[in-house]
Amino acid sequence: MRTNIDSVVAEILSIVLDRPVAPGEFVSRAEEDRWDSLRHIEIVFALESALNIELDETEIGEVASSSDLCSVAEVRLAS
Amino acid sequence: MTTLEVIEWQSTLFSNRLSRFEIMKLNGRQPAPTATVRVSRNHGFEQVASAIRPFLQFAGIAAALDIGDYDDAFTFPPRNADIEIVWIDYQRYAKLPVDELTAWFGTRLRALRGVTDAPIFVTDAPGDSDVVRRINETLADWIANTSDVEAIKLSDIATDLGPTFFDERRSAMTGTRFSDAACLEAARRLGLEFIPAAIGPMIKAVALDLDNTLYTGVLGEDGPNGVVLTEDHRALQQLLIDLTRCGIFLVVVSRNEPNDVAELFRSRSDFPLRAEMIADWQVSWGSKSQGILRAAETLRIAPDTFLFVDDNLGELTSVSRDLSEVRLVFAGNGGKETFDVLRQYPALWPKNISRTDTLRIADARANAERQELASKAPDATSYLRSLGVELTFSLNPADERARLAELAAKTNQFNLSLVRMSPVEIDRYLTDPDRRAVMFYMRDRLADSGSVGSILARRDGDVLVVDELCISCRAMGRCLEDIMVTIAIVGILAELPACSVRFNHSVGPRNKPARNWLSAYTGLQVGEESGSVDYPWDAERASTIIADAPIAVSWGRY
């Protein structure tokens, strides 16, 4: 399951950040100029539609990296 | 777009429930924008904007979005845009009494119409409260009385999505109360429906395969009574009938025996689609590209106005290779997917349906008989007499504003200036005392063609300037151009006297027939560059043209 989540997160980040992102690669929101607040929402909504999950507002606000995205998705899929 | 891309994009963009992840994965070539879409808003539009590109790309539209700052006052600063979108959440004015809100918003919309001739799309109010109903009634009333304005019916999307239309919890993050599902659906409506219809060009004909497209089965193997009309195919055929009511030609392009196809449509009384609804038949074992080309010639329309529907990848690829300008639909999934795609296909459903649209198919079917008469007639005069042509001219037909705009937008071969005036610009010809619009209507003993041409002219000193002259290709080939133009100009000169007539002309890819006509009519050189021709008006010659015309002529409402 984690492999699939890694792939989905990598694909979304590649598209939104407009650069190649490998599955499992650590990408920090703080270090990506393109990862602004608008794209953050786009990333979250894309993740939700890809995995058919829903994040709560706190989770959306706290996500700060590709790793956070994978972790929160994994928790949601397991619940 | 390759055939495989068409299939991939089609299944994502026309899906019943849109997925942001699937949409964002569609990544095609992005040509430089040729149109600007200005968005005036008081809440978040970014979720719509980030999803709209693939829809526009599928529609063949390259548009730049110019999204304004949040502005509850809707001040509409001066701007140049090809399309205006007003993205408003009326809930933000909840403290205002509804009468004050609608009156105020009416003044803002009128202000916008005053500073731009571009089409305006305004969101209505989603929901079902009394306040929402009154806002939407006021909006509908304003739209009915204003040129080139349309409502983006978020209320329809809200009905479809139910409670998931709103997502109040995330509004602080997204800047809008609308959910992602609502924003994706709005992006689809704007990208497939509103913007393509405003920018054009529109599709004029749908070329249809038969086997496993209009029914399940293979006619040559299963026989006329063996092929199966599923409920999805029945709905699809009904949708195609709706298209004919909008004036869209249906053409059957099928690899089958012509007798089998004729028997199929004769014997299957359960088929909603009847033979008389088909404008042209291209049933043979030859290439479908050639069939489309022959149909285009018969219907006098350009191949690039065709949409080709087939379940066979090879046929789609072959047509795409031979006629790259023809748009494609993959007829998959037993009729359901074809229905979903055609229902929302860009530039297929006209915004306004005129009486002429409903006459178009019968008129096209009469062309074969007209051609036979022409081949037997000793000369053009005898031919016209045998047809029993009647022309009616209408001066400033205010109720035909939309049809005047449609003629300007759609005619290519006989469009002299290619100005393609918007409904707002056309309004000026209908209301300004120094301008006139004339619409021509035609019927003969075989069919009623409806409105087939128009002239928009204005007086400039002692010159009558013809800014736009359009004649539908359906009326061409009957040697009536001189008569139509002469009668229309005589009618205008009676109200706006002038010594000469200036014809503005532009060089376009297909309007050589109009330019050749101008040269022959005036006897003046029409160069290979855009410009104008000043023709000293010869009243005596005009009288002779009219008197010698072997047709019936009248002025008035049609």
Element (H, E) at B22: helix B20-25
Identify whether the C-beta of residue B47 lies closer than 8 Å to the C-beta of residue B174. yes
The CATH number linked to A15 is: 1.10.1200.10
Neighbours of B376 (CB within 10 A): 10
Region B299-306: mean pLDDT is 92
Alpha-carbon Rg for chain B, nearest whole angstrom, is: 25
In this predicted structure, the answer to whether residue B278 has a pLDDT above a threshold of 90 is yes
Q: How far is the C-alpha of B11 from the C-alpha of B484, rounded, in Å? A: 48
User: Rounded to whole angstroms, what are the CA distances from B24 to A17, A18, B49, B279?
Assistant: 12, 12, 12, 39
pLDDT band at B353 (very low <50, low <70, confident <90, very high): confident
Whether A38 sits inside 8 A of B50 (CB atoms) is: yes
Size of interface A-B (CB pairs under 8 A): 42
Nearest by CB to residue B24, choosing from A37, A46, A60, is A46
Q: What percent of chain B has pLDDT over 70?
A: 99
The DSSP result for B52-89, as a single string, is HHHHHHHTT--EEEEEEEE-TT--------SEEEEE--
Region B282-290: mean pLDDT is 96
Whether A50 sits inside 8 A of B21 (CB atoms) is: yes
Nearest by CB to residue A41, choosing from B22, B24, B173, is B173
pLDDT band at A1 (very low <50, low <70, confident <90, very high): low
In this predicted structure, the answer to whether residue B294 has a pLDDT above a threshold of 70 is yes
Nearest by CB to residue B20, choosing from A37, A45, A60, is A45
Give the tokens for residue B507: 């060089």
In this predicted structure, the answer to whether residue B558 has a pLDDT above a threshold of 90 is no
Identify whether the C-beta of residue B64 lies closer than 8 Å to the C-beta of residue B33. yes
Region B383-393: mean pLDDT is 92
Neighbours of B145 (CB within 10 A): 8
Instruction: Provide the b/e sequence for B382-406 (b: ≥16 CB within 10 Å).
Output: ebbebbebebbbbbebeebbbbbbb
Q: Which of B237-241, B337-341, B476-480 has the lowest mean pLDDT?
A: B476-480
Number of domains in chain A: 1
Alpha helices (runs of H) in B26-126, residue ranges in sequence order: 46-58, 98-115
Whether A41 sits inside 8 A of B20 (CB atoms) is: no
Q: What pLDDT digit, counting tens, does each position of B440-497 carry?
A: 999 999 999 999 999 999 999 999 999 999 999 888 877 899 999 999 999 999 999 9
Domains defined for chain B, CATH in brackets:
3-198 (3.40.50.1110), 205-343 (3.40.50.1000), 355-555 (3.40.630.30)
Scan residues 40-69 of A and list those with Cβ closer than 8 Å to B.
Answer: 41-42, 45-50, 57, 60-61
Q: How far is the C-alpha of A13 from the C-alpha of A40, rounded, in Å? A: 10
Nearest CA in chain B to A57: B170
Neighbours of A35 (CB within 10 A): 21
In this predicted structure, the answer to whether residue B31 has a pLDDT above a threshold of 80 is no
Q: How far is the C-alpha of B452 from the C-alpha of B443, rounded, in Å? A: 10
Q: How far is CA B361 from the centre of its chain?
A: 16
pLDDT band at B27 (very low <50, low <70, confident <90, very high): confident
Read off the DSSP letter of residue B415: B
Close Cβ partners of B272 (under 8 Å, ≥ 6 residues apart)? B234, B237, B238, B241
pLDDT band at B45 (very low <50, low <70, confident <90, very high): very high
Separation of first and last alpha carbons in chain A: 13
Q: What pLDDT digit, counting tens, does each position of B160-182 carry?
A: 999 999 999 999 999 999 999 99
Scan residues 5-24 of B and list those with Cβ closer than 8 Å to A.
Answer: 19-22, 24
Q: What pLDDT digit, counting tens, does each position of B9-18 carry?
A: 999 999 999 9
Q: How far is the C-alpha of B354 from the C-alpha of B515, rounded, in Å? A: 28
Q: Residue A57: its chain B contacts at CB < 8 A?
A: 169-170, 172-173
Q: How far is the C-alpha of B395 from the C-alpha of B554, rounded, in Å? A: 11
pLDDT of residue B7: 87
Please, what is the average pLDDT of chain B? 93
Binning chain A into helix, strand and coil, the percentages to the nearest 5 are 65, 5, 30
Q: What pLDDT digit, counting tens, does each position of A14-70 carry?
A: 999 999 999 999 999 999 999 999 999 999 999 999 999 999 999 999 999 999 999
Q: How far is the C-alpha of B188 from the C-alpha of B341, rounded, in Å? A: 12
In this predicted structure, the answer to whether residue B33 has a pLDDT above a threshold of 80 is no
Give the tokens for residue B482: 């001189």
pLDDT band at B240 (very low <50, low <70, confident <90, very high): very high
In this predicted structure, the answer to whether residue B534 has a pLDDT above a threshold of 90 is yes
User: Rounded to whole angstroms, what are the CA distances from A75 to A2, A67, B360?
Assistant: 10, 12, 60
pLDDT of residue B379: 86
Q: How far is the C-alpha of B147 from the C-alpha of B450, rounded, in Å? A: 22
pLDDT of residue B384: 86
pLDDT of residue B361: 84
Q: Where in the sequence is the domain holding A23, given as residue range(s)? A: 2-78
User: Rounded to whole angstroms, what are the CA distances from A10 to A13, A20, A21, B228, B372?
Assistant: 5, 8, 5, 46, 66
Q: What pLDDT digit, counting tens, does each position of A42-56 carry?
A: 999 999 999 999 999
Q: Which of B24-28, B93-97, B310-314, B500-504 has the lowest mean pLDDT?
A: B24-28
